[in-house]
Structure 1
């Protein structure tokens, strides 16, 4: 089933967020998605090692897709190492990678630990499949409008980060190390992509300064409030639509320009 994304920009975001639960549920019940979910649920409990997981194409696809890492499907040796190392040891591969999604992925499966892998725990399949359904829907949305995909990802991930209990500096580093989140903040805050060439401490400082100026606060904890997430989504979608070059004849163009100049 194809997601319904009738509009771009903030109007499109408002429609998509209002219809999100119903659309995700319908998408999860589509034949292909339902078959993948059933196979994962039936099989994952028998998996006790990273090598076993990676060797099974369908399990590997669901597992990677659940964390937005589906582009790594062909990188079997790399993914097996990420999983097998786990996250307990400081020098584990996932702990060294700038993209924090790999650490979340490895930690979720629990290989590379003295404890049994989490694949053996009750409810494990349900947790991964909930992520898989949402991520697969986001990918399908991105095939129509990649800005909407980025907005959906941020609206899902930011409240989790805000409520995770990590320090504000760690939260900002997580955002800078997660490409989809970084892209949303760069656009919403009007920052150039070239900022990535700066020293990391300077980047955090510049992102914080811009957040204070645009959002009124630099604290990531603010995104535990849905209204603050919505403010960010509004800024992002307005700026993204303008950067994509709407013509002066586009309905609402003048209003979009005025709003974007104010954020």
Structure 2
């Protein structure tokens, strides 16, 4: 699979976009992932409860990876209790977990009361949506391993369309990082009261505008450019700089961060 290593993040995004269709096909046809996808397709329809899902390590792992919860696979007790909890109960575990990935998994699986009963698993449309999520997750993970900035930008593209309000952004690490960077909001604001953070973001963004394809692309590119400028990644990936470095030549470089990060108080006004 072609990845975006050893390039600027802007070039990395272009590479990721150009190879994505072929990369997805390669993921689906690879021995490891094709077996996992086939097993899921053949067996998930028999799952009717949380206990049945967790009892099958292959199905359980597939679903967890599809929802970007691979780091939580070993927490079966927590996942079981969360999926069986009643979202209508404000004190239920599902409502006390702040990581948005858990609610996304909970809503997508949608088990019945006490974690028993499920009609989603027999739906071919639902099965396809989970498989697509799994393939997307593998693609983003590979890109992220090679260039973290590219991975975060791709995460932003996947998530922003489902955002309903500013708090959906604030509770998601990837979304909030992209927005703060692209709109010139200091990282230190993340330590402020949540309502104050919301005020700061709403002074800069318009949720509906953020979901438009052209704006998604613009924000991703801006995030990539500013991230590289702040980290020096763009310079280190430049062949001319690499040649000069190998010749031990001293080359003073000035980056005008104020010019790069400057943005109107609200570009949508």
1:139 partnered with 2:135 = no
Change (3 A) 1:206 1:32: same
Deviates more, 1:115-124 or 1:250-259: 250-259
Change (3 A) 1:40 1:3: farther
Query: Which of 103, 123, 129 pairs up with 1:121?
Result: 123
CA contact (8 A) 1:5 1:16 kept: yes
CA contact (8 A) 1:238 1:256 kept: no
Question: Structure 2 CA distance, aligned partners of 1:178 and 1:121?
Answer: 29
SS at match of 1:4: coil
User: What displacement does 1:189 show?
Assistant: 2.5
Question: Structure 1 CA distance, aligned partners of 2:113 and 2:95?
Answer: 14
Structure 1 length-normalised TM: 0.83
SS at match of 1:123: helix
User: What displacement does 1:28 show?
Assistant: 2.3
Question: Structure 1 CA distance, aligned partners of 2:100 and 2:154?
Answer: 18
SS at match of 2:103: helix
1:245 partnered with 2:239 = no
Structure 2 length-normalised TM: 0.82
Write out aligned runs for 1:1-263 (5 A). 2-6=1-5, 7-85=7-85, 87-113=87-113, 116-117=117-118, 118-161=120-163, 166=164, 171-209=165-203, 212=204, 218-246=205-233, 251=238, 260-263=260-263
User: What displacement does 1:240 show?
Assistant: 1.3
SS at match of 2:146: coil
Question: Structure 2 CA distance, aligned partners of 1:249 and 1:22?
Answer: 29
Once the two structures are superposed, residues 160-206 of structure 1 have per-residue CA deviations (whole angstroms, 9 ceiling, x without a partner) of 33xxxx4xxxx211111122222222222233333222111101111
RMSD: 2.6
Unpaired runs of 5+ residues, structure 1, are: 213-217
Question: Structure 1 CA distance, aligned partners of 2:49 and 2:236?
Answer: 57
Deviates more, 1:188-197 or 1:64-73: 188-197
Question: Computing the radius of gyration over CA atoms, which structure comes out larger, 1 or 2?
Answer: 2
Question: Structure 2 CA distance, aligned partners of 1:176 and 1:143?
Answer: 24
- Structure having greater relative contact order (Cα 8 Å, sep ≥ 6): 2
User: What displacement does 1:250 show?
Assistant: 5.3
CA contact (8 A) 1:187 1:236 kept: yes
Question: Structure 1 CA distance, aligned partners of 2:254 and 2:43?
Answer: 52
Question: Structure 1 CA distance, aligned partners of 2:43 and 2:130?
Answer: 13
Once the two structures are superposed, residues 50-82 of structure 1 have per-residue CA deviations (whole angstroms, 9 ceiling, x without a partner) of 122122222122111111111101111111112
